[in-house]
């Protein structure tokens, strides 16, 4: 009996050991499986196709932006001129870039090119999105910042900062890269958004309604954005007790941080440092000599924008003179904006007009 009991105890101990070993092995298997799944999640992302597409677009877009010098293909609505394609896209005008196709590359000989960074101001955000090969409905925000420098005053300087704000988009993804050159570290951050409202913003900065010596009427417009703004969808509206007129722009582009002059006569217009001059005298919207397009005594000039797929224009900027404003111009004076707001108190009479010198 004692021998039989001893054998029974041995069997129980063996079975218990086997159970313990099995449970230990199973626990180890679960730990390995958990680690594998965590690693797979880290590598594969959220498994949400929309989020994965955003992540991929941000990474690929930044790679295209920082892999080489980029390229430009001249063209128009009907055809692309591939034989005259060039890597010197930064030497093209905003109008040419908007009509052709450009992929903005910023790297020359392994370093970021300041000339190409400055030339981004000749691209609209839409041009940049198309050139980077992003999907329809995507928007971007690009920043290039000095984050370290031997010159302490350069730290934090923004070399470029423009595009759609993240807060206006449904979802976003970000990619970044750093370049060390000339004793400094520059960081490029590319945000890719699904949706979002484009940062369209133009300012009326000066208006001439009573030109001297038979000169032209003119309107000065400034683009405060780092990206260029396509004029398609923008319009000018002028109203007074005697005159009411509208002009809708179907084409054209104004480069970032530049001034545009609309004039009644481009041949006699003083342009200052304006990047371009557009003749609205040929359309009868602005006058020259004895012909008035803008009311002399009292009037309202409104800059409007119509979003894509929307019928209603939005008033973006407004200038008003005469009437209750107390702003009455005599010959040779202009109405100028002080840069603060669009309120009547932000406008004043300029004794010495400076067309094109915002």
E strand or H helix that includes residue 336:
strand 334-337
What DSSP designation does 202 have?
A: -
Residue 114 in tokens: 């300041």
- At residue 162's C-alpha, the angle toward residues 159 and 164, to 5°, is 155
Residues paired with 260 in a beta bridge? 221, 276
- Tokens 């609205």 -> residue: 280
Strand order in the sheet with 314-321: 244-248, 234-239, 299-305, 314-321
E strand or H helix that includes residue 302:
strand 299-305
149 Ramachandran zone, left/alpha/beta (phi>0; psi -120 to 50): beta
Other CB atoms closer than 10 Å to residue 162's CB: what's the count? Answer: 23
Contacts with 277 (C-beta within 8 Å, 6 or more apart), sequence order: 260, 261, 262, 263, 266, 269, 271
Cα 164 from Cα 198, distance rounded (Å): 5
In tens digits, what is the pLDDT along the chain, a chain of 358 residues? 445 555 555 566 666 676 677 777 777 877 787 776 566 554 444 555 666 788 999 999 999 999 999 999 998 777 889 999 999 999 999 999 999 999 999 999 999 999 999 999 999 999 999 999 999 889 999 999 999 999 999 999 999 999 999 888 889 999 999 999 989 999 999 999 998 877 778 999 999 999 998 899 999 999 999 999 999 989 999 999 888 899 999 889 999 999 999 999 999 999 999 999 999 999 999 999 888 899 989 999 999 998 766 667 788 999 999 999 999 999 999 999 998 876 667 999 999 999 998 7
pTM of the predicted structure, to 2 decimals: 0.81
Are the C-beta atoms of 191 and 58 separated by less than 8 Å? yes
Alpha carbon of residue 254 to chain centroid: 13
């Amino acid at each position: 009996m004692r021998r039989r009991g001893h054998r029974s105890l041995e069997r129980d101990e063996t079975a218990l050991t086997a159970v313990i070993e099995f449970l230990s092995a199973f626990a180890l298997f679960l730990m390995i499986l958990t680690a594998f799944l965590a690693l797979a999640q880290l590598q594969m992302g959220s498994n949400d196709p929309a989020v994965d597409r955003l992540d991929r677009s941000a990474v690929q877009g930044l790679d295209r932006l920082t892999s080489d010098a980029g390229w430009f293909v001249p063209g128009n609505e009907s055809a692309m001129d591939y034989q005259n394609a060039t890597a010197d896209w930064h030497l093209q005008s905003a109008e040419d870039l908007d009509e052709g196709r450009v992929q903005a590359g910023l790297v020359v000989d392994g370093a970021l090119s300041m000339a190409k960074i400055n030339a981004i101001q000749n691209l609209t955000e839409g041009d940049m999105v198309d050139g980077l090969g992003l999907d329809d409905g995507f928007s971007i925000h690009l920043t290039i910042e000095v984050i370290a420098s031997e010159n302490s005053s350069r730290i934090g300087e923004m070399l470029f900062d423009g595009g759609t704000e993240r807060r206006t988009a449904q979802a976003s993804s970000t990619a970044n890269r750093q370049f060390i050159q000339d004793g400094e570290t520059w960081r490029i951050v590319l945000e890719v958004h699904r949706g979002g409202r484009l940062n369209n913003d133009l300012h009326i900065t000066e208006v001439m309604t009573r030109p001297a010596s038979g000169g032209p009427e003119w309107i000065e417009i400034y683009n405060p954005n780092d990206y260029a703004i396509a004029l398609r969808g923008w319009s000018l509206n002028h109203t007074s007790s005697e005159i009411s007129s509208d002009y809708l722009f179907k084409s054209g582009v104004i480069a970032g941080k530049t001034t545009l002059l609309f004039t009644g006569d481009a041949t006699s217009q003083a342009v200052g440092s304006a990047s371009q001059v557009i003749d609205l005298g040929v359309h009868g919207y602005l006058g020259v000599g004895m012909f008035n397009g803008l009311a002399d005594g009292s009037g309202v000039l409104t800059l409007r924008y119509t979003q894509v797929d929307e019928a209603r224009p939005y008033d973006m900027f407004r200038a008003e003179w005469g009437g209750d404003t107390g702003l009455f111009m005599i010959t040779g004076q202009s109405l100028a904006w002080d840069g603060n707001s669009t309120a009547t108190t932000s406008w004043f009479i300029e004794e010495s007009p400076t067309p094109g010198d915002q």
